[in-house]
Amino acid sequence: MTQVPDKPTVDGLEAKWSQRWEADGVYRFDRTATREQVFSIDTPPPTVSGSLHMGHVFSYTHTDNIARYRRMAGDEVFYPMGWDDNGLPTERRVQNYFGVRCDPSLPYNEGFAPPSDGGDPAAVEARGELAISRRNFIELCHVLTATDERAFEELWRQLGLSVDWSMTYATIDERCQRVAQRAFLENLTRGEAYQIEAPSLWDVTFGTAVAQAELEDRERPGAYHRIAFHRMDPQGGRNGPASNSPASSGTVEIETTRPELLAACVALVAHPDDERYQPLFGSTVVTPLFGVEVPVVAHKLAEPEKGTGIAMICTFGDTTDVTWWRELDLPVRAIVDRRGRISADPPPGIDSPAGREAYERLAGCTVGGARIATVELLRDSGELIGEPRPITHAVKFYEKGDRPLEIVSSRQWYIRNGGRDAELRDALIARGSEMTWHPPYMQGRYTNWIEGLSGDWLISRQRYFGVPIPLWYPLDDAGEPVWERPLVPDDRALPAYPNSDVPAGYDESQRGQPGGFVGDLDVMDTWATSSLTPQIACGWSEDPDLWARTYPMDMRPQGHDIIRTWLFSTAVRSHLGHDCAPWKHCALSGWILDPDRKKMSKSKGNVVTPVDLLDTYGADAVRYWAANGRPGTDTAFDEGQMKIGRRLAIKLLNAAKFALTLAGDAAHGDGSRPDEPVGNALDAALLAALADLVRAATDAFEVFDYARALERTEQFFWQFTDDYVELVKGRAYGGQGAEAAADAHRTLTVTLDTLVRLFAPFLPFVTEEIWSWWRDGSVHSASWPNAQDLTALASGNHSGALSVTAAVLSEVRRAKTEAKRSLRVPADHVTVTASAADIALLDLTRSDLTDAGRIGELSLRANGSATRPEVAVVLGDAD
């Protein structure tokens, strides 16, 4: 029996239906489905480092729209959820929340309890940071991430994500660590992972190397300093000034923003075609202050238009210095250590007393302090030409860091990604063409990133909370590591913890001893685990049956800003490990912008958290706002759209109540497949338009354009309630007889049935509520509407009947409003002049039009030149 509440409401639907869905297993993945029946989604694991924000709600709603559509379209949807809970963001949150600092030199404290004032910033600041061991620190990370994960899941359930909550993972859990270590060891076996001592980008704050994909440029104030280098005469002495020509003068002037690196200078460089400096190539100059003889060399990356056209090469000021150093085979004179300070000992080459005295002024200084001291020394020596010239320039930062990056020499692990291998680079670009991109132009960003790579993927990090690099190294008789012969754990021993586990053939007493072993201290970059989300979710190497049913996956949804990191790194791992693209479709979402059109981010302090909005407007309203954001397009945060979404949900409830209350028990019939076509022209026109809507919404969803599907469905819904329902009310209430009323009831319920299913991916709670009033099971397990069934129901060619009839009714009502009369006032006489085609349609809908407009006499006049109906209204006297 149809059971419609007396006062339907959208309030409380989230708790009611999320519990029912879980209890009934509505979204549970069916492991018996074949690969052809499965639609698998590589769901982004959100970073567990605080709270979710509206950017998360925005993009995850897009994914859920697609998941719900695919499920109704007949696919078995594989939709797991993961939590990205390792790496720097988690460490920083734990440090700030508990007021602790990891000190690896401290012993493990078995009785350590989390600080009781955790989460109280004032109390933490008052007592200061507490130093704890690495193992205690990691335990705190697990405590806090578990709490955050529960909060995240509660919010996702409130939003209505149709995730299978029995299939979750965390990137730091044992299974994920095992998969990540196994994949790394396979990379190592195949020669795709390697370790070298080389210059690497270094974040001083976090004390770790970072990868190229994690960089961002930030505009910072700086200054150009013009400095004089002295040329050497053939007898080995300095030349004095001779002329204004660089080739003939006694000095060579360069401009630099980093004068503090003068002691690290190994050469001067100019473009090989620069005629000003061609005579100098092959000669040498002497560095100011430090008296080190360095060569003048040529390289195509030198910019003749920049500064004086000749630059100093330092080890290392930026990534271009690294390229010059490598390609020109220059020595290393590094002076910046991992703390971001100038090393205590001068580099090779600074041998003169004056040079060593100058260096002592810098030793131990921060980079900023060394810059000030160097400028003072240059000014005193007369080798600073003029005063520093202020500029604003782009400086490279780690995306989560607060201080400019330095380049230091360190031993790190890399995975080959095409940055130094043209053949691999081309193969990875080709993989992009095996995926369908939504929107299509996003593939260009993927290709451009690969083409711009300057090195392989640095995956090791000098941090604590991450997946350990599962290796040990034998120590020689002098106690030095033999890096070239790493000790590898047995697969059955994974996950391996080199800091506490012992390699086969050794015992703990040999740790750190000559002839013994040492464990690798580093962990993997968080992307080195996240790049394996398809392997983790689909059970690679752990669940062969699930793997065969779900991989390669069908869809990767993600933000366009991490194409260079998450998407590309996943493509690398799939190409190297499985010789295929990891998914068929890449669905990219845009950013959420604040009212000033700036990206919302925690670092900018302009994020909006979703909990209050979900409580205020309801999940369907918030989802409505999100679903209006088109694929790949940045969208402004708009609370006004949430209000519209809430009104839409309420209107849908009321329209359903109207239709089902009138239809009564007849609503239980299979309205989507009636036995015979409708006979009323107005009904047929509505159902024909509904069939067109189903085709348009289906086509939009098939190309992942959920926003277009919602837009078309909403437009039709308002036409249905504003036009059709108003026109058919009289007939539906029995004003034209029982048979005519039955036709109206059938059309109302068929339309409601279809609209509820079309809205279901966007408004899952209110549509489930309505469905429960007169249908069994869940609307989210129902089939997607079939346009052919609706076309068969809408017999005859009555297209346009609804629109022209609604237009005439609107004019009649406008006449009453302009006369300041009630809409219930009769219109004694209405004359409509229109084209012959429109008159023929109006003649078919005459009864509904006269009932809705309270029209006494309706005259229809054909006029071949009429482009739109002209309506003349004569109102009656009585209300």
Q: In which residue are the tokens 């809908």 written? A: 845
Residues 147, 748: Cα–Cα separation, whole Å? 48
User: Whose CA is closest to 529, among 585, 470, 603?
Assistant: 470
Q: What percent of the chain stands above pLDDT 90?
A: 75
Residue 240's pLDDT is: 46
Exposure pattern of 107-138 as b/e (b: 16+ CB <10 Å)?
A: eeeeebebbeebeeeeebeeeeeeebbbbbbb
Q: Give the distance, in angstroms, between the CA of residue 855 and the centroid of all CA atoms in the same chain.
A: 57
Average pLDDT over residues 184-207: 91
How many Cβ atoms are within 10 Å of 578's Cβ, its own excluded?
Answer: 14
pLDDT of 177 above 70: yes
Which of 287-296, 513-522, 596-605 has the weakest average pLDDT?
A: 596-605
Phi, psi of 638 (to 5 degrees): -145, 100
pLDDT tens-place string over residues 311-362: 999 999 988 998 899 889 899 899 999 889 999 999 999 999 999 999 999 9
Range in 136-145, 538-547, 767-776, 853-862 the model is least confident about = 136-145
What distance in Å separates the CA atoms of residue 601 and residue 735, rounded to the nearest whole number? 59
- CB of 644 closer than 8 Å to CB of 652: no
> Using N-to-C axis directions, what is the helix angle for 738-759 and 681-702, rounded to 10°?
10
Residue 213 gets which letter from DSSP? G
Q: What is the pLDDT of residue 243?
A: 43
Q: Does residue 868 have a pLDDT over 60?
A: yes
**pLDDT tens-place string over residues 17-70:** 999 999 999 999 999 999 999 999 999 999 887 678 898 999 999 999 999 999
Residues 6+ apart with CB under 8 A from 718: none
- For residue 637, the one-letter residue type is F
Tokens for 263? Answer: 């002691």
Computed over every residue of the chain, the mean pLDDT equals 91
**Pairing verdict, β 265-270 and 293-298:** parallel
Q: d(Cα 213, Cα 44) in Å, to the nearest integer?
A: 18
Dist CA 253 CA 169 (whole Å): 59
Structure tokens at 15: 């708790």
Lowest mean pLDDT of 5-9, 134-138, 149-153, name the range: 134-138
| CA–CA gap between residue 751 and residue 672 (Å, rounded) | 9
Question: For residue 242, what pLDDT is reported?
Answer: 40
Question: Which residues are bridge partners to 519 per DSSP?
Answer: 472
Instruction: Give the count of alpha carbons within 13 A of 792, CB side only.
Output: 10
In the structure encoding, which two tokens stand for residue 688, read together? 């024909």
As a whole number of angstroms, the distance between CA 395 and CA 319 comes to: 12
Region at 592 (left for phi over 0; alpha for psi -120 to 50; beta for the rest): beta
Determine the pLDDT at residue 53: 85
Q: How far is the C-alpha of 220 from the C-alpha of 464, rounded, in Å?
A: 31
Q: What percent of the chain has pLDDT over 70?
A: 96
Sole residue written with tokens 């109540």: 657
Q: What's at 655, amino acid-wise?
A: A
Q: Minimum mean pLDDT among 144-148, 366-370, 539-543, 684-688: which range?
A: 144-148
Q: Are 472 and 217 in contact (CB under 8 A)?
A: no
Residue 735, both tokens: 């004003």
The answer to whether residues 790 and 690 touch, using CB atoms and an 8 Å cutoff, is: yes
Structure pTM? 0.85
pLDDT above 70: residue 677: yes
Structure confidence at residue 666 as a pLDDT band (50, 70, 90): low
